[in-house]
Amino acid sequence: MRQMQDDSIAVFFSNDLVSSNGETYHRYRQHPDLYYLTGINQPETVLVLAPKTAKQGFEEVLFIRRPDTRVANLRGPGMDLQQAAQLSGIRQVCFLDELDDCLHELVLLARRIYINSREDRHAYSEAPARDLRFAERLMRLYPAHKYHRAQPILKKIGMVKSAPEVGLIGAAIDLAFAGMRSAAKEIRPSRQEQEVEAAISSAIITGGAHGLSHPIRVASGAMTLYPEYDTNSNVLMDKTLVQVQVGVMYAGYNASIARTFPVNGSFTARQRAVYDAVESCLQTGMTSLVPGSSIPECERQIRNQLEVALESFDVMTAQIGVHFPTECFSHIGRNLRDPHEAYAPLQSGMVLNCSPAIYLPNENFGVLLRNVILVTDEGPVNLSAAIASSSEHVEEMLGELV
């Protein structure tokens, strides 16, 4: 709130429930920003911040849905006012049907309104979020007010993680590690990709995961060329590779790990050469994540190394997005890809994915590796170091677990 301008308020909304088949809903996932600010994980929740308001006691106001017997009979009881206050640490908690009157008074006492507009670079949706729908309503009702984006403030807050946040990301990584080990136990010729997926799912659910950061991806053979393939419907074939991506959410924080395995437990000479090249790029990428550097600088460095490697594999004109990823680095935390300031220098406490890959369409295979790295003043820390990445260790792990 200290970064908000004077005479301003900010409004944050929960995510909508999303219908899955006309009869039920997808499992609910709270808006990451609202969850970060309140700890409340139920729909129909609104947070209003008015740090300099003249109305005493209303600097922070949380609105939750009024208990409904019909909904409670279907989904279990929701929170009452006291429970919401205790969980969020916000003293002033009201029911959602009181929002309009309360907000009207607070808006008239302010001159500026912060809106939490959607600024996702990688998962843009045409469907207007609740924040945007309400913003349009506010602009019709209060056209003389000045409107500001909340995301620049939230990005600055979210880019640098606190020690507890790093701990929660670490817990998600531990669950991803459990899923990856379970996957390795199932990898062998003639297995179905969905059998590997089932092993991963069992491990992370049993371990206490609160959800998936992305669908479990088990891509074998030619499907290793497609980093977002998640049908998981093919058979693992001898002398091919299988690419496994495990993304876990724990207590509102995300982690995603990727490894590429030889289906029969041993790389061919060609597969090993490509794998080792990608693993070398992974090591280079991780060491480049130091305070004062920037993501564009790190991208240029790793891209140059990938292009040199591709030349050694007879790819003279490597195409971005075809032979190697468009981006190898991304912030991770409350989102799978945390919103961030693209050109800001890296700082201690930032957590990023490093995801180099080489794809060889003419040879029908690709290699993708992904680690989670913490930037510190003492040097980068590989939070996913427990999950083997070298070709020798991968083969050893497969041999031990089969």
- The CATH number of whichever domain residue 52 belongs to comes to 3.40.350.10
**pLDDT: is 2 or 291 the higher one?**
291
Residues 150 and 184 reside in one and the same domain: no
Predicted TM-score (pTM) of this structure: 0.93
User: Residue 114 and residue 343: Cα distance in Å, rounded?
Assistant: 24
| pLDDT surpasses 90 at 65 | yes
Gap between the terminal Cα atoms of the chain: 53
- Are residues 63 and 75 located together in one domain of the fold? yes
Domain boundary among 129, 157, 185: 157
Report the pLDDT value the prediction gives residue 402, as an integer from 0 to 100: 61
Say whether both 279 and 394 belong to one domain. yes
| Same domain, yes or no: 323 and 207 | yes
Between the alpha carbon of residue 38 and those of residues 12, 15, 161, 165, 250, the distances in Å are 10, 13, 17, 15, 16
pLDDT of residue 397: 87
Residue 59 CA to residue 48 CA, distance in Å, equals 8
Assigned domain for 95 exists: yes
Q: What is the pLDDT of residues 330-354, one digit of tens each?
A: 999 999 999 888 899 999 999 999 9
Q: What is the reported pLDDT for 19?
A: 82
Q: Does residue 3 lie within any of the structural domains?
A: no
318 pLDDT exceeds 70? Answer: yes
The pLDDT score that the predictor gives to residue 123 is 63
Note whether 212 and 247 are within 8 A (CB). yes
Average pLDDT over residues 111-124: 82
Task: Note the pLDDT of residue 72.
Answer: 79
Q: At 226, phi and psi to the nearest 5? A: -120, 100
- pLDDT value at residue 165: 97
Range of the domain at 37: 8-157
Q: Which pLDDT does position 385 carry in this prediction?
A: 94
Contact yes or no for 372/174 (Cβ under 8 A): no
User: What angle, 0 to 180 degrees and rounded to 10, lies between the N-to-C axes of helices 193-207 and 163-186?
Assistant: 140
Report pLDDT for 124. Answer: 65
**Residue 2: inside a domain, yes or no?**
no
The total number of structural domains that make up the chain: 2
- What pLDDT is stored for residue 342 in this prediction? 87
Tokens of 343: 């050109």
Q: Do 258 and 168 belong together in one domain?
A: yes
Residue 359 in contact with residue 274, Cβ under 8 Å? no
- Long-range contacts at 370-373 (CB < 8 A, ≥ 24 apart): 370/245, 370/256, 370/257, 370/258, 370/259, 371/257, 371/282, 371/286, 372/169, 372/173, 372/255, 372/256, 372/257, 372/332, 373/286, 373/289
The mean per-residue pLDDT over the stretch 219-247 comes to 97
Farthest CA pair distance, the chain = 72
Best CA proximity match to 241, nearest among 217, 266, 278, 258:
266
The arithmetic mean of pLDDT across residues 205-213, rounded, is: 95
Contact at 8 Å (CB) between 34 and 48?
no
